[in-house]
Amino acid sequence: MCPFRAAAVADVLQLAPDVPIRALMTDRSEIFEAAGRRLRAARNYDGGFGPGPAAPSEPEPTALAAIALGDDGARRWLMQRQRDDGSFGIVQGFVRDEGATGLAALAAGPGLTRERALDRLEELEGEPLESSAAVPLDGSIRGWPWVGGTAGWVEPTARSLLALRLFRPGSLRIGEAMAFLRDRRCVGGGWNYGNREVLGEDLPPFAHTTATALVGLHGLDDALEHQGAARLRDLWRRERAGGISVALSLAVFRIRGDRDEASGAADVLADIVAHTDLLGDPVAAAWAAIATGPGVHALEAP
């Protein structure tokens, strides 16, 4: 870790989680430019974006790049890769990834591609589960899976909810998505990646998954959103070493109009983007660019 960053992070880590970070009035446009440069490095000759250095284009980073940068080439790449059933994702033989369809619906813009993606989201559901003493949950709420033929999880459910609340506000499955998020909410608020309890142990919420859930449910349930956002104010400070966690948290604070939290998160994100390589992750760079640029408005109701 470079001396500047070490000092900055150490300074921040000395603060208790409930103490607001001093607003340094970070210029978000600088973060946006820096994150955008990182993201553009993942652009391939075909117009799409890969998941890492020298990796072939894939739907998730391409959809996020289209949202973050308003990149028409990325949008075209996506539209050419929509599957016959309207979904977007990676198919690896037996494994059919469904995780990018919600983001692609946002990225595609108005039109048939988006409508077909939304149709797919309305159709897709996780496999049913049985509640048990080991993993208590309401198994009748299916949610959305990462991979076809498996159970629903918080992140893909939140992504699907985001697309449906923005573009199909009358969808009957919005209620199911909200029920899923209520059922899987951790004790005290926030979200783990899936379950709230395993083998008698309350699972902890994470910044990344909590922020993703809040992006999805924004404006749909004030009490649930308020509780989750309150938990996120603690979580992002605890997890401030992670670029994608801080970026997603910043996006949440911006769409909620929480200027103090947004300012603190922007300071930390600026430090991360300036002094780390985000582990070469274009998805993290894309979320940093979305959180600090005009792309964040794509997460808000039109």
Partner 1 sequence: MNAPSHHRHGQVPRRGFIKAAGVGIALGAAGAAGLRLGGLGASPRGRWDPAAFPPPTRARVAVLRAEGYERDLETLVFEGLVEIGADVAGARVFLKPNLVEFDPLRPINTDARLVAATAVALRRLGAVQVTVGEAPGHRRDLQYVAEQAGLIDALASIDVPFVDLNTQPVRHVPLRTSYTPLAELWLPSPVVDADIVISMPKMKTHHWAGVTLSMKNCFGVLPGRIYGWPKNVLHWVGIEHSILDIAAAVRPDYAIVDGIVGMEGNGPISGTAVDAGVVVVADDVVAADAVAATVMGVDPASVGYLAEAGRFLGQIDRDLIDARGEDPDRLVRPFASPPVAVA
Residues that bind partner 1 (CB under 8 A): 1, 50-56, 58-60, 81, 83-85, 90-97, 99, 127, 132-134, 145-151, 153, 155, 193-194, 198-201, 206-208, 239, 241-245, 272, 276, 278-284
Q: By CB neighbour count within 10 A (0-12 exposed, 13-18 middle, 19+ buried), where does 17 fall?
A: exposed
Report the residue number, 99 or 216, with the smaller CB distance to partner 1.
Answer: 99
Cβ 244 to partner 1 shortest distance, Å: 5
Cβ 265 to partner 1 shortest distance, Å: 14
Cβ 64 to partner 1 shortest distance, Å: 12
Report the residue number, 167 or 281, with the smaller CB distance to partner 1.
Answer: 281
- The DSSP 8-state label assigned to residue 126 in this structure reads P
Cβ 76 to partner 1 shortest distance, Å: 15
Cβ 245 to partner 1 shortest distance, Å: 5
Cβ 218 to partner 1 shortest distance, Å: 20
Report the residue number, 168 or 299, with the smaller CB distance to partner 1.
Answer: 299
Q: At what angle do helices 243-256 and 207-217 cross, to 10 degrees?
A: 30
d(CA 188, CA 196) in angstroms, rounded, equals 10
Measured CA distances, 164 to 57, 62, 98, 102, 248 (Å)? 25, 20, 15, 8, 19
Report the residue number, 75 or 168, with the smaller CB distance to partner 1.
Answer: 75
E-assigned strand segments in 36-194: 91-92, 95-96
Cβ 194 to partner 1 shortest distance, Å: 7
Cβ 12 to partner 1 shortest distance, Å: 13
Report the residue number, 118 or 207, with the smaller CB distance to partner 1.
Answer: 207
In 3D space, the residue among 101, 170, 102, 181 whose CA is nearest the CA of residue 141 turns out to be 181
Report the residue number, 137 or 168, with the smaller CB distance to partner 1.
Answer: 137
d(CA 18, CA 30) in angstroms, rounded, equals 27
d(CA 264, CA 246) in angstroms, rounded, equals 10
Report the residue number, 91 or 230, with the smaller CB distance to partner 1.
Answer: 91
Report the residue number, 129 or 179, with the smaller CB distance to partner 1.
Answer: 129
Contacts for 192-195: CB closer than 8 Å, 24+ residues apart: 192/154, 193/153, 193/154, 193/155, 194/151, 194/153, 194/154, 195/135, 195/137
Q: At what angle do helices 101-108 and 112-123 cross, to 10 degrees?
A: 160
d(CA 62, CA 48) in angstroms, rounded, equals 5
d(CA 195, CA 186) in angstroms, rounded, equals 8
What value, to the nearest 5°, has the Cα angle with vertex 99 and ends 188 and 130? 55
